[in-house]
Amino acid sequence: PGQSCPGISLPCLVLQSELGELLGLVHYMEGLRLISTVELVAPTSDENVTVTDTELSGVPVRLFLPQRAPGGLRRAVLFFHGGGWCLGDAGEPCTSRLGPCPHLTALPGALNAVVVSVNYRLAPPHRFPAQFEDVYSVTKFFLQDKVLSQYGVDPARVCVAGDSAGGNLAAAVAQQLSEDPEVETKLKAQVLIYPALQALDLDLPSYRDNAHKPLLPGALMVRFWSEYLSADPALRAAMAAGRHVPPEAAPLLPLLDWSRWLPADMRGAHTYEGPALGGAGLARRFPALLDPRACPLLAPEARLRRLPPAFVLTCEHDVLRDDGAMYAARLRAAGVPVTHHHAKDAFHGAMTFLAWPVELAVGHRLFDTCMGWLKENL
């Protein structure tokens, strides 16, 4: 979820934010957001895409519209940026702040798609379910016939997409929409890019193998989860110590049993024991831990069966690797068409490195893979 400004390393950002919080100068996440953002990128149009900042359902969004004549109805992508529910902006889900993000400026032209990037509220001060409510409100509003018609969108070719924390939101939105009787237009697809999907088992093989790897060390992911789910600092301490799982979670743990849901090569030599249950009262104090809107991997199979086809991207060197892999397996078991693309040479956030000053071949390869799937399935 985290993003860093050019020339400043993530460890340096984290250290400065920790120091600021220790001295009582600024909240850790506020400090990280302040340091990591050089400047917000203004909406910048070109000959291919018109970019505007507006509001849908009272929520700020950045709207990307193809310039060329549609030649028929267009696709649409509702995009939710990453940043651990604490960082990021609708115009900057990437590492470069020096120009429009290639993630989003490429989509409208390549797919002939309307792209809506949602500027949802961030933690702190806004905690779950504020972020979910914002993206859900925008998506539900956009799926109205009159709005789709206004933007020339084919109701049968709309998808949700997101990276990291945004992948979490996209998965949660897809689930909620499938059960909303007020929504007649159904999603065509969901694109989940190294998503964070559960907060109960933070000792998965991927957390063990990648605890200290860039761009998302395990301790930072724990901090993101705790900031998103509660203002109580006790949750972070409990999560870090593995004492945060409510006893009421016991019936849900088979849904996270990585000895069943992970491919053998991801399980490696690790032995499954399952998360230890914490003390009584955790479910009352931190109900979001058991809420599928916050942790979509906790959804029962009956709910998963109603979901649209999915593209799930995971990276080998990523603490969130196993979340995405288990969700892909559970979707497939529920009968949902799934393309699980696992990049064995990639790390969390790799697909954001698409432009100067940090441009990587692996970023372009993953982006092209994702685009190829969208062209065929949306």
Catalytic residue ranges: 164, 318, 348
Report in angstroms the alpha-carbon separations of 299 from 5, 180, 234, 237, 302: 36, 15, 26, 26, 8
Contact 308, 184 (CB under 8 A): no
First to last CA, the chain: 25
**The residue to which tokens 């950002």 are assigned:** 13
User: What are the residues whose beta carbons fall under 8 Å from the beta carbon of 11, sequence distance 6 or more?
Assistant: none
Closest CA to 108 of 50, 65, 148, 146: 65
Q: How far apart, in whole angstroms, are the C-alpha atoms of residue 84 and residue 321?
A: 15
Which two three-digit tokens encode residue 349?
Answer: 């956030």
Label residues 343-373 b or e (16+ Cβ within 10 Å = b). beebbbbbbbbbbeeeebeebeebbebbeeb
Contact 229, 289 (CB under 8 A): yes
Contact 2, 220 (CB under 8 A): yes
Closest CA to 207 of 194, 193, 222, 191: 222
User: What are the residues whose beta carbons fall under 8 Å from the beta carbon of 126, sequence distance 6 or more?
Assistant: none
Q: How far apart, in whole angstroms, are the C-alpha atoms of residue 349 and residue 83?
A: 10
DSSP code at position 352: G
Contact 25, 117 (CB under 8 A): no
- Judged by DSSP in three states, 109 sits in helix
**The residue to which tokens 């792209």 are assigned:** 115
Which two three-digit tokens encode residue 106?
Answer: 């490429």
CB count in 10 Å sphere of residue 60: 17
Which two three-digit tokens encode residue 230?
Answer: 């509660």
